[in-house]
């Protein structure tokens, strides 16, 4: 099982107590909407809801480009989770709009956030497994947020947990988790997400070898967009060279320092 260096000495049991109290404090009359991604973090958030004995409705945005192993895990281990599908599939959106970029990830909104929007608004308080440690962008968000465009409140009960806390909790409570983690996959989000492989070519190659069909479908969709835009003046010269540049990444994003994340954690738990 994977784990991370124990960057904090705050015991898991203390975090569990704090998280269950947090969930009980904000429990709405109708219950929460739990965003179940099939990953280890949302699985922990789901278990915490059960421990806190709060009401919740679990939904999974079935993007069509997640690893098949994730979908299978949810179906077999989280049978109460409802699979929600976008009105237009990812490949159709790519050919109509453009391939997603790190600075222009329209896909997150189209095939995740807005999927089942009426249902999500019926449960206006959402739970996610987002953690500050995952990225600088996530670390800059708040533990409780109001999403203006959707009119919902999002709470993050494990926001300040470290990765070792997650695995410690999973081991103690014998929670099932997706087999991809044991195969070396640290993140199990969308297969063709540019945030995963740009500019990490090693991860790109691993994903291409594991799920070649999804990359073929993705490239066919990009080709339709490329041809429709008649990108004869594309600085890359050809579609093939454009895809090479796309996979390499058109730029690097800045990340929050580990020191900043550590400071936030200490402020939350007094360590």
What tens digit of pLDDT does each residue of 216-269 get? 999 999 999 988 876 655 666 788 988 988 888 764 444 444 455 455 445 544
pLDDT for residue 99: 92
What is the rounded CA–CA span in Å between residue 192 and residue 55?
Answer: 34
pLDDT score recorded for residue 7: 43
d(CA 86, CA 104): 19
Dihedral Cα 174, 178, 183, 189, nearest 10 deg: -140
Question: Alpha-carbon distance 267 to 264, whole Å?
Answer: 5
C-alpha distances out from residue 203 to 127, 162, 199, Å: 29, 23, 9
Taking the domains of the chain in order of start, what are their residue ranges?
Answer: 12-184, 194-248
| Confidence (pLDDT) at 248 | 83
pLDDT of residue 81: 97
Q: What pLDDT shows up at residue 105?
A: 82
Cis peptide before 160 (omega within 30 of 0): no
* pLDDT at site 202: 85
Q: What is the CA radius of gyration of the chain?
A: 19
The encoded tokens of residue 82 equal: 């409802």
Block means of pLDDT (10 residues each) for the chain, length 271 residues? 51 94 93 95 97 97 95 97 94 93 85 87 91 72 67 89 95 96 89 79 90 96 88 71 84 47 48 45
What pLDDT score was predicted for residue 149? 62
CB 130 within 8 A of CB 37: no
Alpha carbons 265 and 159: distance in angstroms, whole number: 9
pLDDT of residue 265: 44
**Start-end of H helices in 53-162:** 68-77, 90-96, 106-108, 117-122, 136-139
Compute the distance between CA of residue 171 and CA of residue 20 in angstroms, rounded to an integer.
18
Kindly give, in sequence order, each residue whose CB lies less than 8 Å from that of residue 63, ignoring residues fewer than 6 positions away.
86, 90, 107, 111, 112, 190
Q: What are phi and psi of 144, to 5 degrees?
A: -130, 125
Range 12-184 classified under CATH 3.40.50.12280: no
Q: How close are the terminal C-alpha atoms of the chain, in Å?
A: 27
How many C-beta atoms lie closer than 10 Å to residue 172's C-beta?
11
What local confidence, expressed as pLDDT, does residue 266 receive?
52
């Amino acid at each position: 099982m994977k784990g991370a260096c124990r960057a904090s000495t705050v015991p898991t049991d203390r975090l569990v107590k704090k998280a269950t109290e947090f969930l009980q404090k904000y429990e709405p009359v109708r219950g929460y909407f739990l965003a179940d991604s099939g990953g280890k973090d949302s699985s922990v958030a789901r278990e915490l809801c059960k421990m806190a004995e709060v009401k919740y409705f679990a939904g999974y945005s079935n993007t069509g480009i997640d690893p098949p192993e994730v979908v299978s895990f949810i179906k077999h281990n989280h049978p109460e989770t409802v699979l929600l599908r976008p009105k237009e599939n990812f490949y159709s959106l790519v050919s109509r709009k453009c391939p997603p970029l790190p600075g222009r990830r329209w896909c997150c909104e189209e095939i995740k956030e807005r999927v089942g929007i009426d249902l999500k608004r019926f449960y206006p308080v959402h739970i996610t497994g987002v953690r500050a440690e995952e990225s600088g962008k996530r670390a800059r968000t708040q533990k409780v947020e109001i999403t203006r465009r959707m009119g919902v409140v999002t709470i993050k009960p494990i926001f300040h947990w470290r990765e070792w806390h997650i695995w410690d909790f999973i081991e103690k409570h014998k929670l099932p988790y997706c087999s991809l983690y044991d195969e070396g996959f640290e993140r199990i989000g969308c297969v063709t997400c540019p945030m995963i492989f740009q500019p990490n070519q090693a991860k790109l190659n691993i994903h291409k070898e594991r799920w070649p069909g999804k990359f073929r479908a993705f490239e066919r969709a990009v080709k339709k967009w490329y041809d429709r835009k008649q990108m004869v003046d594309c600085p890359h010269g050809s579609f093939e060279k454009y895809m090479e540049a796309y996979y390499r990444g058109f730029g690097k994003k800045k990340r929050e320092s580990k020191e900043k994340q550590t400071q936030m954690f200490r402020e939350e738990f007094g360590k």
